[in-house]
Amino acid sequence: MDRSKKPSALQSLTSPSLIPQAQVSITDSQVSATLPSRESVEILLHGATVISWKDASGAEKLWLSEGAVLDGSKPVRGGIPVVFPVFGTAPDHAATAKLPQHGFARSSRWEFLGKSTSESSGTKDGGDSSVKLDFGLSPNNLSEEAKKAWPYEFGLIFSVTLGREGLTTSIVVQNVGESVWEFQTLMHTYLKVKDISSILVSGLESASYVDKLTSPISTNMSPSSGNLTITAKTDRVYTPAGGPSDPVTVSDGRKKLYTVARDNLNEVVIWNPWTDAKTMGDFKPVDGYKQMICIEPGTVRGWQKLEAGESWEGGQIITAHY
């Protein structure tokens, strides 16, 4: 076919070089993506941990400890570690009792399964408006120790979708075996803030919460109005009153910073170690707790049961407003 005679409209549709595309780069240890509009994300294969999410101006949205260990020898302190199949430890839950804190997903090397992109026609510059990166984990990727401690047939797909306004992370949990098993999962998101003393968290009004810092651990009700402020060590598991469609908003004074919406994830853990940060060897600088707040959507009160052949999906959508 004589290409010079092709109608020009068709020519532009079929010339990929004319359409701005997301750039994805893959190394032995991580996958990074940048949109034509310059937002970017970096994910380590270790734990499928998102370690950076930047807006178009290059401003980082996630807190990552300067002491974070990124070589796969321990879970990453910061970013978005994936918690599965147990949140914390569950000594009384026989099936997960032998697992380390927060399970094995954040300590295992995941496989990169591939990328997909979507274009938006409405914007003036066109091109890719989002890029989705998929990561997989199955018993084949686990250490012998983890396989022995949790001998179930499972498949996980963790997807990270970078868009112009926000970041979505979602997880599909599949029971590919022949017996029923149960799990908990959570996205341990460390959001970066300028100064924790002016941070307000809304969306937790009238929520019941488990305070993990009382002894014994207590269940409480949050007030029906007013924002949550962080003025000391905080470790609470909230169940927002409006169900998983109730978003949580993080503001700096009157300026909205982030909205965290959830899909199928009933709970939101709010964590800040405060000055106990100094007891964690990988939390640097030690006063870094002033620049972070963990807003962790998950399903962690009780257990999700999966019958043989069943699958379950949940996720978070974080919108950055600044």
Ligand X SMILES: O=P(O)(O)OC[C@H]1O[C@H](O)[C@H](O)[C@@H](O)[C@@H]1O
Q: Nearer Cβ to ligand X, position 168 or 234?
A: 234
Cross-strand bridge partners of residue 236: 211, 270
Among 74, 115, 164, 212, binds ligand X (CB under 6 A): 212
**CA dihedral (230, 233, 239, 243) positive or negative:** positive
Residue 235 interacts with ligand X (CB under 6 A): yes or no: yes
User: Does 301 show up as a binding residue in the annotation?
Assistant: no
* Cβ within 8 Å of residue 85, ≥6 positions away: 96, 99, 103, 104, 105, 150, 154, 181, 182, 183, 184, 185
Residue of 165, 188, 205, 307 marked active site: 188
Measured distance CA(272)–CA(232) in Å, rounded: 8
Q: How far is the CB of 271 from ligand X (least distance, A)?
A: 3
Residue 219 interacts with ligand X (CB under 6 A): yes or no: no
Q: Nearer Cβ to ligand X, position 43 or 80?
A: 80
Q: Please give the full DSSP string across 102-114, using - where no structure is assigned.
A: TBSGGGSBPEEEE
93 carries an active-site annotation: no
125-164: contacts with ligand X (CB under 6 A) = none
Q: Nearer Cβ to ligand X, position 249 or 272?
A: 272
Among 53, 110, 158, 271, binds ligand X (CB under 6 A): 271
Residue 50 interacts with ligand X (CB under 6 A): yes or no: no
Measured distance CA(172)–CA(136) in Å, rounded: 9
Residue of 296, 307, 310, 313 marked active site: 296
80-119: contacts with ligand X (CB under 6 A) = 88, 101-102
Among 43, 142, 294, 295, binds ligand X (CB under 6 A): 294
Measured distance CA(189)–CA(317) in Å, rounded: 11
How many residues bind ligand X (CB under 6 A)? The answer is 10
The number of C-alpha atoms within 13 Å of 310 and in the hemisphere containing its C-beta is 12
182 carries an active-site annotation: no
130 — phi, psi (to 5°)? -155, 155
What's the token pair of residue 215? 């002894």
Residue type, 171: I
Residue 68 interacts with ligand X (CB under 6 A): yes or no: no
> Catalytic positions, please?
188, 296
Residues in touch with ligand X (CB under 6 A): 75, 88, 101-102, 212, 235, 269, 271, 294, 296
